[in-house]
Amino acid sequence: MLSDANASQDTVAAVGISGMVPTLICLDQEGVPLRPSIQQNDARAFREIEKLRQTLADQNVLERTGSDITQQSIGPKVLWLHRHEPEVVENTAAICGSYDFIVRRMVGGGRSTEANWALESGLYDLVDERWAEDICAACNTDLSWLGEVSQPSEVVGEVADPDSGLALGTPVIAGSADHVASAFSAGLVEEGDLLVKLGGAGDILFTSADPVVDKRLFLDYHPMPGKYLPNGRMAASGSVIRWFQEELACDTSLEELDREAEEAGVGAGGIVALPYFLGEKTPINDPQARGMFVGLHLGHRRGHLFRAILESIAFGFAHHVEILWELGLEPRRVRVTNGGSRSRVWKQIVADVLGLPLEPIYQHPGSSLGAAFAAGMGIGVFEKWDEIERFVRVEERIEPNEENNLRYRDLYQVYRSLYPALKEQQHVLATFSAPKEVP
């Protein structure tokens, strides 16, 4: 069905689709899902992650695929299915991502797999540009399950579903990873452009002319040919705020919590938090990491705890920026999007922690604009990728406070010291919350 009341069959020239990546969907011979999808932040397969890291220790997985084996990877999830849901594996004829599934349904079949799902799956050889047979074998992933890799703006078929609300024969492109399309639609087109996404998860993406491979980062293709998006993804960001609001603040409004956080002041009265409430992806890649508040005393109030959460997520972004600097990558223009960017307090905290000015994007439409623009490129509506700037409106910059930045540098060092100091204890605590496993 068409979701825009102003759209009609006659006004849709092509279809671009985006979705979370790398979601795992198992399909039977008829293309019907065999179970609910497994999302990218699912950390159940931590045992399989360790097994694969040992099995593939000599296979240069990081250099070949662009990413380490983590809870993001598809391989460990497939192994988990072999162990826990063998009947699903027995009936699997194909695996794909969320937007790949929609594309296939829309065009009436096919095997289209967008390049960034392939790359983020950990099963695709970045250098040889093909599925890595040895890695797939180690993951018990049948090569016949994997599709034909296409670029985001590549036309892979035509609308064949009469119930879609679209004219039959309308071109359909391969699609886009949501965070990639969202970054592009925020105007990340030049080398050095950086995006901070204050969403349910915390994404940070950097525009680079070369593939940057580091075990502390993920790597994606930029929609613009010849460019890349080394990036980080914190498993929990806005989701921690929602948890706090619902469970500890009796659904107090975010505006009130922001006011209390502002009153708490820089450093949250001496509390430093770790935001690893869903384990953590980059840069520590530890699904058994756990969230923590350190430094509590009886003088602390709710606003101190809430500010500590906001600061901890900003520290997580700072950890990624520190890695970029180590790799010789200099952020030149920093933009900020998603729901958290509506919070003046949180934006200021991020600017102060990073020591960089932020450019909020006005009414950022997210990945939908990026996917639509890629569709336009695919059928020739647009000639150049940088024409995306026509659709991007930047709000007033958030300038960092130098005094606050200096204070945050000390607190950041405390933040960085906590995880390695408490890693063993976190892993012990994780066993109490993990579901019981069959030996």
- The 3-state secondary structure of 406-432, one letter per residue: HHHHHHHHHHHHHHHHHHHHHHHHHHH
Q: Which of these, 248, 299, 304, lies nearest to 273 by C-alpha position?
A: 304
pLDDT digits (tens, 9 = 90+) for 302-357: 999 999 999 999 999 999 999 999 999 999 999 999 999 999 999 999 999 999 99
Examine the pLDDT at 216 and tell me if it is beyond 90.
Answer: yes
Q: Distance between CA atoms of 187 and 14, rounded to whole angstroms?
A: 22
Over residues 196-222, the mean pLDDT reads 95
pLDDT digits (tens, 9 = 90+) for 88-121: 999 999 999 999 999 999 999 999 999 999 999 9
Evaluate whether the domain defined by 9-174 bears CATH number 3.30.420.40.
Answer: yes
Helix (H, G, I), strand (E, B), or coil: what is residue 155? strand
Pair 189, 386: CB distance under 8 Å: yes
Examine the pLDDT at 9 and tell me if it is beyond 80.
Answer: no
H or E stretch including 229?
strand 228-234
CATH architecture of 189-364+391-439: 2-Layer Sandwich (3.30)
Identify the band that residue 149 occupies on the pLDDT scale cut at 50, 70 and 90. very high
Identify the band that residue 5 occupies on the pLDDT scale cut at 50, 70 and 90. very low
pLDDT for 163 equals: 87
Residue ranges, comma separated, of all CATH 3.30.420.40 domains in the chain are: 9-174, 189-364+391-439
Identify the band that residue 41 occupies on the pLDDT scale cut at 50, 70 and 90. confident
pLDDT digits (tens, 9 = 90+) for 287-296: 899 999 999 9
pLDDT for 7 equals: 58
Examine the pLDDT at 437 and tell me if it is beyond 70.
Answer: no
What is the token pair recorded at 172?
A: 């359909």
